[in-house]
Amino acid sequence: MKKFIPFIFLLFFGCQTATKKQVAAPAPESYKTELLKSQSISKKNPDLAIARLNQLLTSSSENNLTDDALYLIGDLLYKSGNIKAAEKSFSRILDSKYASPLDGRALLYKAKIASKTDKESVLRTLRYIDYNQLQDQTSLEQAELIRAPIFLQNELYKKYLKSAATILKITKNQNTALTTQRQANDVIKIKLSGYQSKSILDDDELSFFHAQAALNLAEYYFNNDQPEDGMMVLERNAEILKGSELKSKRDELIMRGQLFLTSNPDVIGVILPLTGKYQSVGHQILKGLQHSFDVWGQKSGIKFKLAVLDSEGDPDQVALAFDELMKKDKPIAVIGGLVSKTAEILLQKADKFQIPTLVLSQKEGLTSKSRYGFQTYQSLESYTAFVAAIAYKDAGFKKVAILESEQAFSKRYSQAFQKEFTKLGGEITAVVEYNLSERRALPNAVKTLVKLTSSGEREEEYKLAVAKWRRSSRSRGQTGIPDIEKVLDPIIDFDALFIADGAKNGGLIASTLAYFDVEGLPLIGTHLWNDNDLIERGQRFVERAFFADSYHKPELQASTCGQNFMQKFQEPISSYSFNGIKAGTIIKSSYNAFNIDSRKALLSALMRTSTLTDACVPKGLIREGRNFTSTLTPLTVMNKTIVPLNADNILRKTDEGLNN
């Protein structure tokens, strides 16, 4: 608690300025002597001082020092924690018929007490303080230190800032000044809208906060596509921002403003993982982008520069790469964000710097709250919804089991399929996980799936089968206990199996199922099955498996676009390079349809695009909000070839040969 001015000063000078109510009679010399003695005793023995002062009040008539005695009692009681008794003492000063220069101080103490017990009454109490009676700045500072947090609590932000400004004018305490300034800046930054900051800039009494208000207003203009106005605010307030602790924020906003106003319309920024865990995917997407823009340049004469930086798959590196692109290359758009965490960073940067950005992550809903972000990858959830509908409605499967790996993408696929299939009315009978780092991971998962395990519900059945085997001719010349698959048949209590993995593992699982005498079981896969790895690994056991993708790979690879890609990169178009092509197509179509000379113009063009097609994207793309999606194609395997799925080749539950 702040110290009041010395009581001895009040004793001899404080009571000389009363101008209201009646004037009290002068106190006798004996009263003054006892009052001074009690004050001296209070430093070592406050309880004794309070007792002596109460005795003095009881034995004497009211005079011009009665208020001093009451104030000292209240002060001592408050400091000792006896809040209610202290309040009564201060109330006696205020209720007296005699004028007292201590009225303001007594009210100030009552406000302190109210702030501990009844915050709603504090402002009412403080309203009646005659601030002219608070004869020193310490008391005035205390009044504002009480009022300020109450204003803040009641969301009276302008009044709070006025109170904070008064504190900053009069306080000599450096910590108080620093805390008040920072808290007030936070209020402006967090609680006030950007445009409300304009009224603070226009108020000279709030000059302490002009720097923060200027930054707030400038950022408001930047975020609302008014970079010229934002730069003007920063220029007009350059002097107050120059020496401020907010200088780094000012520099950041100036850079943003400059970047808003300047861009190279022929430069596309690309941030992909070209080293690290996802480098193979990153390079495939980059080839797709290079192919798309090269084709475009050859046809239309428009040559674009791709400013490519490596994200290493690291969100922090993505942020650094983005800043470098903006400073050095000033691209008109950015493409990247293969992994969801890096995509989220890119979208934050896109909105901050107001640059159209296409992210390639499969995570659904990434761009729902972004103003400048677009998603160019078919979401994983859209694939699963599509194949779940085929499984339930077209194939007639009512019960499906699932195999998933420990990897995050596999679990996402599995969960998405479960959600969609059960929503349609289907039943998920089992979900079995395998860890690819473990020995015999796939065989063990398949055995668990088809209940070829020697423990659990088939334990007794297995024991009986082993006993029977020992009595049979098959056991002659053999020692030990036979594997369960040698004596028991697999149990298939589901209509189909969804494998939430890529083409390689999907094919291996199909072969593993056959090893355990499970053939003819309908298999459902992910869009990653649109690859020859599925057939190479699964052979005839993946025949009539079905899945979906945004293109039919053999058809695309045989097209002029696919042949040109093969000639240029000596490899066929993959699902990842195709997504790079799609991203390039989106920018390309916007340039072909509209006159693009700025980021703002490109953003407008992207938002006006509803559908688009290209030689390399024959089925076209559809914009739904901020996501460009493809028309999905259902696919299957016939005669070791991936072909479109149709009514003639779909494997239904009623077909002969299903292992149920």
Give 98-153 as a 3 state SS string. Answer: ECCCCHHHHHHHHHHHHHHHCHHHHHHHHHCCCHHHCCCHHHHHHHHHHHHHHHHH
What are the DSSP calls for 333-353, one per residue? Answer: EEEE--SHHHHHHHHHHHHHH
Enumerate helices (H) and strands (E) in the chain, giving the number of each.
29, 15
C-alpha pair distances (Å), 265 with each of 231, 290, 355, 591: 22, 17, 12, 10
d(CA 318, CA 349): 10
- Residue 556 three-state SS: helix
Cα–Cα distance, 218 to 247 (Å, whole number): 14
- For residue 229, the model assigns a pLDDT of 83
Q: Which residue has the tokens 């559809």?
A: 622
Q: Which amino acid is at 615?
A: A
**In angstroms, how far apart are the furthest CA atoms of the chain?**
129
In this predicted structure, what is the pLDDT of residue 507? 94
At 407 the pLDDT is 92
- β-strands 633-638, 641-644: how paired? antiparallel
For residue 40, the Cα-to-chain-centroid distance in whole angstroms is: 61
What is the structure's pLDDT at 497? 96
Helix (H) or strand (E) holding 500: strand 496-500
Give pLDDT, residue 6. 37
Residue at 236: amino acid letter: R
- DSSP-derived 3-state class of residue 267: strand
Q: Smallest Cα–Cα separation from 502: which of 410, 433, 416? A: 410
Does residue 573 contact residue 556 with C-beta atoms inside 8 Å? yes
Euclidean distance between CA atoms 458 and 454, whole angstroms: 6
Alpha helices in 520-598 (DSSP H): 532-538, 553-558, 560-569, 575-593
Q: Backbone dihedral region of 486: left (phi > 0), alpha (psi from -120 to 50 degrees) or beta? A: alpha
Question: What is the reported pLDDT for 485?
Answer: 75
Closest among 27, 1, 2 to 14, alpha carbons compared: 27
pLDDT of residue 232: 85
Query: What is this structure's pTM?
Result: 0.57
Q: What's 22's DSSP letter?
A: B
Q: Give the per-residue pLDDT at 469.
A: 79
pLDDT for 146 equals: 74
DSSP-derived 3-state class of residue 261: helix
Give the separation between CA 484 and CA 634, rounded to whole angstroms: 38
For residue 499, give the 3-state DSSP assignment. strand
The pLDDT of residue 475 is 56
Q: How far from each other are the two terminal CA atoms of the chain, in whole angstroms? A: 82
The one-letter amino acid code at 401 reads: A
Q: What number of other Cβ atoms are within 10 A of residue 327's Cβ? A: 11
Cα–Cα distance measured from residue 148 to residue 170, given in angstroms and rounded to the nearest whole number: 14
Q: With b meaning 16 or more CB within 10 Å and e meaning fewer, what string describes 71-106?
A: bbbbbbbbeeeeeeebbebbebbbebebbbbbbbbb
Q: Are 64 and 24 in contact (CB under 8 A)?
A: yes
Long-range contacts for 243-246 (Cβ within 8 Å, ≥24 apart)? Answer: 244/211, 246/185, 246/211, 246/212, 246/215
- Hey, what are 232's tokens? 């003007």
Q: State how far the Cα of 334 lies from the Cα of 314, in Å rounded to an integer.
A: 17
pLDDT for 5: 35
Exposed, middle or buried by CB within 10 Å (0-12, 13-18, 19+), for 582?
A: buried
What structural domains and CATH numbers belong to the chain? 1-154 (1.25.40.10), 163-260 (no CATH), 264-378+556-625 (3.40.50.2300), 381-452+490-549+634-644 (3.40.50.2300)
How far is it, in rounded angstroms, from Cα 388 to Cα 380? 12
For the chain, residues with pLDDT lower than 70 are 1-20, 115-139, 225, 243-245, 259-261, 295-302, 454, 473-479, 653-660
In the chain, the amino acid numbered 185 is N
Angle (nearest 5°) at CA 14 between 131 and 96 = 75
Q: Is 532 exposed, middle or buried (0-12, 13-18, 19+ CB in 10 A)?
A: middle
User: In angstroms, rounded to a whole number, what is the distance separating the alpha carbons of residues 224 and 273?
Assistant: 32
| Nearest in space to 546 (alpha carbons), one of 390, 336, 656, 338 | 390
Q: For position 280, what pLDDT does the model report? A: 93
